[in-house]
Amino acid sequence: MEPLTIGIIGAACLVGLAVLGVRIAFAAALVGTVGLMVMLPNPIAGLMTAGTVPYDKSVKYTLSVLPMFILIGYLAYYARMTETSFEAARRWFGWLPGGLAIGTIFAVAAFSAVSGASTAAAAVFSRVAIPEMLKAKYDRSLAAGVVAAGSTLDSLIPPSALLVIYGILVEVSIGKLLVAGFVPGFISALVYSAIVLIRCARNPDIGPRITGYSWTQRFESLPGTAPIWIVIGLIFTSMLWGWATPTEAGALGAFSVFCFALWYGMKWGDLKGALLDSAKLTVMIFTIIWGVLIFVRFLGFARLPDAFASWVVDLALPPVMIIVAIYVVYFILGMFMDAIGMMLLTLPVFYPVVMALGYDPIWFGIMVVKLCGIGLLTPPVGLACYVVNGVRPDIPLGDVFRGIWPFVLADILTVALLTAYPGLVTFIVAD
């Protein structure tokens, strides 16, 4: 049997196992190992090749950035830095129509700059922001939807675990990816805010204004946000100006947050919780990476990515139509798969195609992560929505999903904007 045929059969088996509910890490490792055993001269050679992949990737220096960025987010969460950022956002934006929801968006964006996991952001602000919005008589679908949607900013705004995984998989500069994520993340926050403002201006009952704060009270709220802005500045400037590698910037950020956490009075129990949660999430991500990279090695031997790229390039279609088709695939997959599994499954095939079409790898990475963020919202596997419902079971899951659709529309508009003007992504990292 031809290697390409074996590769197609293997890809179909992986999709089938994923649809059946098998964890992507185990499904990919199984299919990849069996494929290598079939394709190489003897089964032992295939097993040995599969066995070397996890070690080869784990010892790479670039992979050590992941636990650092994850630790930053959990330290900030257990030190309760989120509460000060939300209170400041409440005072500064509450007077607008839907101002408390808009304040939540910007508070989540600030937390995203010291967090590496969208689920953590969703859990934190479900506890912090939703009670305040419900107390202010906000529509509960809007309150739940804005927290779920806001948490997806975490996938774009550094430190982002998804951007790191993309950089490792396709071997592009992780530092440039992380720096490039700031502007699209900020644009996404603005578009979300515009959607909230328009909806609440047309129907004030779903998002009443919060008034009564003086300018003095607003400025008094700013010093409490200083730790977050300091950490953002350290991470961003150190990577932008080349003073530190992404791993060094992550370590510097983690140490800074740890110092601030001690200043806030973090107890041993909180520190233990942050370390354990960081370790659990890191191990989960590493396991997925190992399994899928075995599958990627199998695809390389089968030459499936190269064959698919050549076939697509030979099509008489404008490149933008192919890009839009790739977007549609990500949108559909996002309804059924988690973000990491979706990236690891598709990038070995899609990335060569996009590069052959002449697109920038940094820009494509931002677009992929943005599309994965949409997948965190869309049913039936909108993970961010399930997290919100898990923390706030008093808000039915149907209400949470009903609240996210305006933000999915906002995300589609943002994707269209960044596709039409890719310079918005790449200008900050242009050589």
Left, alpha or beta for 227 (phi > 0: left; psi -120 to 50: alpha)? alpha
226, two tokens: 């200083």
The tokens describing 188, both together, are 């996404």
159: preceding bond cis by omega (within 30 degrees): yes
CB burial class (10 A; 0-12, 13-18, 19+) of residue 337? buried
| Number of CB atoms found within 10 A of residue 257's CB | 28
**Sequence spans of domains, the chain:** 1-59+286-301, 60-266+303-429
Residue 192: its pLDDT value, please?
A: 94
368 has a pLDDT exceeding 90: yes
**3-state helix vs strand vs coil in the chain, percent to 5:** 80, 0, 20
CB atoms within 10 A of CB 234: 18
Q: Which residue has the higher pLDDT, 51 or 192?
A: 192
Instruction: For residue 8, give both structure tokens.
Output: 């197609």
pLDDT at 309 over 70: no
Question: pLDDT at residue 116 above 70?
Answer: no
Whether residue 170 is predicted with pLDDT greater than 70 in this model: the reply is yes
Is residue 102 within 8 A of residue 196, CB to CB? The reply is: yes
The answer to whether the beta carbons of residues 66 and 213 sit under 8 Å apart is: no
pLDDT exceeds cutoff 70 at 313: no
What is the distance between the alpha carbons of residues 211 and 215, in angstroms, rounded to a whole number?
12
Environment class of 272 (CB within 10 Å of its CB; exposed 0-12, middle 13-18, buried 19+):
exposed
Tell me what pLDDT residue 57 has. 65
CB 142 within 8 A of CB 257: no
From 163-172, 193-202, 328-337, the region with the lowest mean pLDDT: 328-337
Could you tell me if 152 and 118 are in contact, meaning their C-beta atoms sit under 8 angstroms apart?
A: yes
Task: Check residues 323 and 309 and name the one with the higher pLDDT.
Answer: 323
Q: For 4-25, what is the mean pLDDT?
A: 79
Q: Which two tokens stand for residue 136?
A: 């202010």
pLDDT digits (tens, 9 = 90+) for 376-398: 888 866 778 888 888 888 888 88
pLDDT above 90 (res 52): no
DSSP assigned state of 431: -
Mean pLDDT of the chain: 83
Q: Do residues 282 and 335 touch, judged by C-beta distance below 8 A?
A: no
pLDDT at 191 over 90: yes
Does 157 score more than 90 pLDDT? no
The most confident of the ranges 46-50, 236-240, 320-324 is 320-324
Q: What is the rounded CA–CA span in Å between residue 15 and residue 333?
A: 11
Strand, helix or coil at 160? Answer: coil
C-alpha distances in angstroms, 90 versus 178, 212, 225? Answer: 28, 11, 13
Residue 179 predicted with pLDDT over 80: yes
Nearest Cα residue to 247 out of 68, 113, 56 = 68
pLDDT of 58-79, one tens digit each?
666 666 777 887 787 778 777 7
For 41, residues 6+ apart whose C-beta sits below 8 A from its C-beta are: none
Cα three-residue angle 229-167-286, rounded to 5 degrees: 90
pLDDT of residue 62: 63
Distance CA 234, CA 10 (A): 45
Confidence label for 362 from pLDDT (cuts 50, 70 and 90): very high
Q: What is the predicted pLDDT for the residue at 176?
A: 86
Q: State the pLDDT at residue 369.
A: 92
Range 43-49 average pLDDT: 81
